[in-house]
């Protein structure tokens, strides 16, 4: 695939799959089934080893297994955007493993070092991207102090950086940095999933990430289509249907971001609910509320029906 093809693939729902476990180990057979479920429901861009995949809780050996399993399950039916990170050499190693498996793109997780300078941030990403120039890269930005000149410098040094996953909860800041860095320089992705997809689309984002898509791909893809068509009222109605689910994921500084998704999948008999520390499984109260949300979705033959009075539209 050319970089142009890959840019098109990013302008979509970018699904972040969960990593299921069985008896404490990565459950590869279930992982492949979950990936196939996404693909069979129309999802065409997938990020294995992303945050919803519990990237930081996986060992190097487990990440390698998931890279290989992702490529095998997806074949040529979906484009994979591999999550990489940690130290520079570890990230490069994972990118090369992905490249050997046929994965054409990598997303660089935000550095977790406690002492990060602006120049060091640029150098970190430049060293990784320049080491594998045939791979296309997406930058995952969660810090508001990352500036447009930093992005422009990286783009000039590494033309294989083609996308920005922007995960700062500030649509105005997003609009400004996109304008200053160049609207056409990168593919701009709303990195805070469905709750920010509408507001970021209004400011030029052409794709959004999703963990919800693991549970209800129909809703995520319907939102994508509404945004592509400029049907913002319809998009708002769809967001109202998913607002409480996403609010639960965001509560307590996103402590249960992944565990809410895994609980829903467990209730659908799709995978085990287990999750690794420092995350935790949801409590009984949350399980009951998740069951109610799933029941509401299951009984709503028309997903665009008026939401329950307790539901709120999330338009950030």
What pLDDT does 49 receive?
98
Q: Residue written as tokens 């810090």?
A: 143
Largest Cα span, the chain: 53
Instruction: Answer whether the bond into residue 278 is a cis peptide, omega within 30°.
Output: yes
Q: Within a 10 A sphere around the Cβ of 85, how many other Cβ atoms?
A: 23
Contacts (Cβ under 8 Å, ≥6 apart) of 108 = 84, 85, 91, 125, 128, 129, 137, 138, 139, 140
Question: What are residue 305's phi and psi, to 5 degrees?
Answer: -65, 160
What pLDDT does 302 receive?
56
What pLDDT does 299 receive?
85
Question: Can you give the pLDDT of all 316 residues of the chain as single tens digits?
Answer: 899 999 999 999 999 999 999 999 999 999 999 999 999 999 999 999 999 999 999 999 999 999 999 999 999 999 999 999 999 999 999 999 999 999 999 999 999 999 999 999 999 999 999 999 999 999 999 999 999 999 999 999 999 999 999 999 999 999 999 999 999 999 999 999 999 999 999 999 999 999 999 999 999 999 999 999 999 999 999 999 999 999 999 999 999 999 999 999 999 999 999 999 999 999 999 999 999 999 999 986 555 544 444 333 333 3
Q: Within a 10 A sphere around the Cβ of 70, how many other Cβ atoms?
A: 25
How big, in percent rounded to 5, are the helix, strand and coil portions of the chain? 50, 10, 35
What pLDDT does 315 receive?
33
Q: Residue written as tokens 């970089």?
A: 3
């Amino acid at each position: 695939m050319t970089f142009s093809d890959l840019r098109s693939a990013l302008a979509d729902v970018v699904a972040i799959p969960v990593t299921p476990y069985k008896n404490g180990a990565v459950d590869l057979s279930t992982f492949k089934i979950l990936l196939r479920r996404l693909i069979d429901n129309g999802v065409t861009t997938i990020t294995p080893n992303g945050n919803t995949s519990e990237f930081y809780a996986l060992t190097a050996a487990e990440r390698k297994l998931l890279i290989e399993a992702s490529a095998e399950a997806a074949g040529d039916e979906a484009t994979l955007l591999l999550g990489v990170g940690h130290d520079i050499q570890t990230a490069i190693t994972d990118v090369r493993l992905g490249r050997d498996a046929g994965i054409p793109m990598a997303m660089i997780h935000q550095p977790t070092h406690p002492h990060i300078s602006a120049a060091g941030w640029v150098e970190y990403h430049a060293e990784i991207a320049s080491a594998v120039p045939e791979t296309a890269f997406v930058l995952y930005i969660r810090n508001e102090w990352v500036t447009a000149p930093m992005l422009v410098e990286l783009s000039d040094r590494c033309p294989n950086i083609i996308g920005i996953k922007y995960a700062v909860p500030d649509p105005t800041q997003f609009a400004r940095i996109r304008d200053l860095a160049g609207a056409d320089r990168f593919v701009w992705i709303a990195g805070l999933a469905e709750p920010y997809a509408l507001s970021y689309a209004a400011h030029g984002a052409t794709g959004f990430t999703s963990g919800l898509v693991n549970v209800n791909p129909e809703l995520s893809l319907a939102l994508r289509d509404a945004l592509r068509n400029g049907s913002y009222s319809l998009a708002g109605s769809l967001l109202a249907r998913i607002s409480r689910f996403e609010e639960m994921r965001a509560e307590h500084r996103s402590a249960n971001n992944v565990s809410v998704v895994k609980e829903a999948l467990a209730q659908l008999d799709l995978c085990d609910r287990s999750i690794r520390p420092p995350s935790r499984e949801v409590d009984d109260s949350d399980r009951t509320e998740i069951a109610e949300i799933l029941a509401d979705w299951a009984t709503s033959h028309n997903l665009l029906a008026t939401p329950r009075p307790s539901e709120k539209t999330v338009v950030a």
